[in-house]
Structure 1
Amino acid sequence: MFVFLPAIKLRFFELHSIFRVLHLDPHLCLPAHRALTFLNNCTFCLSLAMADVFRGLNLLETLKESIESNRLSDVKDAVEDLLISRINLGVVGDRGEEKASFMNSLRGLGAGDDGAAPSPASVPPDGLAGYPDPKHPDFRLWDLPPVPDISPFEPEGYMDRYKFLRYNAVFMTSTQTVQPNSVDVFLEALSLQRQTVYFILLASVKDSEKILEEKKKASLEVLKSKGMAQPKVYLVAPATLERFDFPTLLADMSNDLPEIKAHALVLALPTLTSALVTQKKEAFKALVWAAASLSGGVSAIPVPLVASMVDSSIGVRILTKAQLSLCLDNESVERLARQRGMEPTKLKELRNCVLSVEVSKGEVKRRLAAAEKDLATVSSKLLEMAMPRNARSVSRSFAAMLQALNSAIDEMAADAQNILVAAHAKGK
């Protein structure tokens, strides 16, 4: 959705100045940018919509609407949810090596790492085990026992016993063909308006791709026999999630989950693919916009996250989360190198941004000061029109934080992409 600003006369170089300092792409602000090439110095409505900065990303628009409606508590809650990544995922299925590997890979762990799910499981057959992410403690996986293959079977009893509806999403895993009682649990969840339940066929190292396709086809037939018109079964390689259907599963989850939860999940997952790194970068830029809006415009309102107009502690917190989310911290890089059989120093050398190595308050303050200085070349009127209404009285504060943190996110995401490419190249 475009936000149409008051009609103004704008020169070509002025438009590019504001794009540059706010780290926006001019091509994402069409059609106003194209019109400028032949309507230079003419009056027109500039669609400098912050919600259209990121292709296909609705999160920023949601946050922007909350700011414009003065629902500041909603924005603060969204910022906190994204920074904390409070997500609970249930994983149903037999407790074998494949399931343990899958739960570990979702948290970027290997079998021997601290906090890894063990195989065999250390809980009773009908027990429940929780595994928090070491980097994101509020991102938790819950190991649920398999749905019993008995007759008669009441899906409500299983769901009640294991508090099925408390999870943000549930994975119904299996290394074989889906069994009918699991489908009954799935259908019962749908009847309760719970859409975030997914069938996952975990690939065993013993199975050929032909056998895996046969298992997937057989599982789809079971779902169809239960009356599902458009059944889905996702084939997933537990130790290498970037293969097979996991990217498709993640895309479907992003559509099914509430918007903030979907992005919180993206931020909590390890950097599995290049596309996921890009999604993380876009989500962080939306988060930066929200935090800059709060910091730049509501210092008189008691919002606990905000201590002053330009609070470097907010920047430190966001960039620390970015470092962990993009797997740039030493522990994550060393773990990835170990999993890929590489020397850690080879991957660590790819971190060109100082914030990828260490997020310090001094470096964040330096970047904020540099952004303030850079903004001296941009007219106040232009800056005001890019701000949410409540932040316009202190537009330079907003823009400084936006520029400083967005540029940092760009640099850190580039480092993450380089490390990912190097690690995958070694894996191949």
Structure 2
Amino acid sequence: MVRETNRYFKFDWVTIILFLLLVAFGWLNILSASHTGTEIDYFDFSQPFAKQIIFIFLTLILIILLLALDAKFYERFSSVFYILSMLSLVGLFIFGKNVNGATSWYAIGSFTIQPSEFAKAATALAVAKYISDLNTDIKTLKDQLRTFMIILIPALLVLLQNDTGSTVVYGAFFFVLYREGLPKIYLIIGFLVVLLSILALKFGAISTTIAAILAVILLHFFRKRKYPILQSIFIITVSAALSFGVQFFYESILKPHQQDRISLWLGLEKDPEKLEEMKRTFAYNLNESEKAISSGGFTGKGFLEGTRTTGKFVPEQHTDYIFSTVGEEWGFLGTTLVVILFVLLILRILHLAELQKSQFSRAYGYGVAAIIFMHFMINIGMVMGLIPTIGIPLPMFSYGGSGLWAFTILLFIFIKLDSNRINEW
């Protein structure tokens, strides 16, 4: 039974307010990153901050449309959204526009749109729909493989467009599957694969294989429950294959600039002269970003007062490196506030997801939280030099219509699903 009183106003306003605060604060920093020290013309639509105002206005209209639709509409047509999204990704190989080495945009005159941003929401809906089906048991191998395929198809299509950052985000769905019953062995295997890959790059495939052999021997002798010999041999063989495979991929498949980013992050380059050259070339953005953040100190230089921001020392500062603007002009206090807002938003979504009455809504809510978390973690880690540099925007914060609208769709579909829970007895 559905209550009629104020049924269209029973939305989680805590989540909505957090979203609006991030969008508003993001726009202020886009304005700063676009500012050149001269008088600001707010109607100069050649500037990113003026364009972002239009994107935000259209976002508000989009929110009204998303909340006006019936909550069941999203579950009923989730498969349709997924198929259309995959077709839009495939179409990029024919009609896509190449920007900075990635064929990820459709161009209509001066207007561009990035389908990979919207594909994340479509995939989240499709995953939630499939695992909530009465005939699906995520603990069985058959349904696990089918679910992995739903995630893998868009990830591979995006990877083929040379958009590594967006591809990595699809790893977020493993948190969703784990919450819905995926055996934890998959998370353990995933962690070990990442660990072995890093070790193979850092110390070499042979050293990593020897370490794996020693680890298996120690486990065999010190565990009460012994590993069968064949199982131990299998583990060693897989570890060796992975180690040599990662090393081959790094040396023979990755492009030089990608190798340099990983090399700098892991400290693989030992030649001081080449190291300095790497920092001056492809790591220029990162170095300037770190300088901008550190120069802000505790309280920052003040709004529109960032010298490195105004001087355009950090390329792409209004997009992927927007967090460096926060660091310089708002300081430690400002960056802490941004982190707190994101953490509160993610925790709020997880809290609401646990309150859902349907598995579809719960799984989708976890998908929303996981995708936002991955973007948040990777972007800030990249800007601060904690992880390798990959192009990925800060949700609701970075400049761009596609990113803002995609995250609006992702989040407000869940807000609508949650309102359906609130409006039911």
TM-score range, shorter chain: under 0.3
What TM-score, normalized by structure 1, do the two folds share?
0.24
Higher helix share: 2
TM-score after normalising by structure 2: 0.24
Higher relative contact order (CA 8 A, sep 6+): 2
Higher share of residues assigned strand: 1
